[in-house]
Structure 1
Amino acid sequence: MPFLDRTIAPDTMHAHDPEPMQIDAASAASLSTPQTSEIQHHLSRDDQQAKARQHRIRVKNRRKRYLDTHPEYFNSGLELADPLLYDRLVRRFQTPAEREAEGRAKGYSGVLEADLLRSEAKLAALHNPDGSSVAVRRRSNGEIQVLEDEADELANMTKEEGLARWRDDMTQRFLRGEDRDFRYEEVDESDEWDDVAEEERTAQDQYFDGEDPALVHSGPGTPAITGETGVQDF
C-alpha cells in the first residue's frame, strides 16, 4: 500500500479562517456613538463647574480670612462705602465726643468728603428709592430726611446691634468684591490666606459623607456579632 504524504504546506494552514480586522485609533474614535460623546461632554462640563465652584469658595474663604486678621479694615473711612447706611447704623448712636474723635481721625478734608457724599446719597435715594439701602423723603423746607420708621429692626436697634449690622454688611460687600479701592488679586491669588486645617476637615467630611455606611465584614463568611449590640431586651 503506497504511503500517502499528508503534509500540509504552511501557507495553506487555516486558509478558511478570516483575517482579524485591524482598527487604528482614528477608526476607533469614529466608532464612538453619539450617546458616548454626549456623556463625556456632560462629565467634562460637570467637572469644570465643580472646579469653578471650588475656586469661588476658596476665594471667598481667603477674603474672609483676610478680614478676620485685619480688623482695622472696618475703620471710619469705610463710611464712604454707604454714607446713609453708616449714618443709620453707626453715626446716630455716637455721642458728641465720639463724633468729634472720629472727625479728628478723618481730618477736615475727610469730614467734608463724607458730608458731601452723604448729601449726594440722599439725593440719589430720593430719585431712586429702590436703589438705596435706606428710605428718605423731602420735608416742606426742602431738607431731605431719612425715614426713621422704615423698618422696626432698624428703629429699635441698639448701638451694639447697629455696629454689628454695619460690619456684617461691609463684610458681605467685601466678599462680593465690591470694594473698588482694594486690590483683591493680592488676596485671591495667594495661598497665604488658606486655612489648610479647615480645608482638610472639609475634604474629610465630604469624603465620609459620600461613603455608604456598611460593616467592615459583610457578605458570605461574615462573623456573627456577639456581645452587646446596643439593643436592650426587656
Structure 2
Amino acid sequence: MNEIAWLRHNKIDLALHLLRVVDDPDTHPLLLLHGLGDSSPTEVPHWAEAWPGTVAALDFTGHGQSTVPRSGGYSPEVLMADADHALAHLTDGDPERKITVLGRGLGAYIALQLAGARATQVRGAILTDGPGLAGGPTGPSSQSFFALPTNGIAPDPYALVELGRDLRPGDYAMSFVRLANQGSGLSAPITVSSIFRPKWLAAVSDQPGVVESTIAEALALYA
C-alpha cells in the first residue's frame, strides 16, 4: 500500500505517503522523515515491519512528490512545519493523540525539533544516519548570494545547497531536548541510533533524556 494524502502548507502541496494504515486505538502512528535530497520509501521498510500501528512517510518541501518552490528559501524550521502538518493529519488534529518520529540524516534533525516543539504528542524521536545529518557550521559565517538553474523537478538544488549549510549550534539543538524532556512524560524521549556524530548531535547525545540504541530497540520501546 502507498496511498498519498496531500497536505496544503501555504503554497506547498506536501505528499504524505501512507505506507500502512491501522485502525486500532491502542496503537499510534510512526512518521518517517527522509534525508537531504532523498524521498519517502514506497513501502514499509523491513526494519519497521514490526511496528503495530500506521506507518507514514513525508516528502519534505522540494523533495519527492511535494512541491518544488521557486528560488529556494529553505530552512530546517520550514521542514519542521512540514512535519507538523503531517503530525496534525495523522492525529486528526487531536492534541491528546501520540506519534513516534524516525528521521534519517536531515530528517533526524527535523525529528529532534518536532520532538521539542510538540513534546506532549511525540512519543519518542529516533535519530539515524543519512544524507544531510551534519548540516552547516556551528557558528555564524559569511553569507553568499547565488542563483541556480532549476526545472521544477525534485530534489530542488536550492534545498541541497541551503539545507546542506544551515547553521546548527549545539546549544540550539539541546534546547529541543530540554523541551522534549519537559513535556513528553518519557524518561528517554530521544534515541540516537546513528554512527556518525556531527557536533550538534554529539552535544545532544550527552544530554539527560537521550539514550543510544539500535533502531529495532527504539521502535520496540516507543511502540
TM-score with structure 1 length normalisation? 0.18
TM-score with structure 2 length normalisation? 0.19
Greater share of residues in strand = 2
Greater share of residues in helix = 1
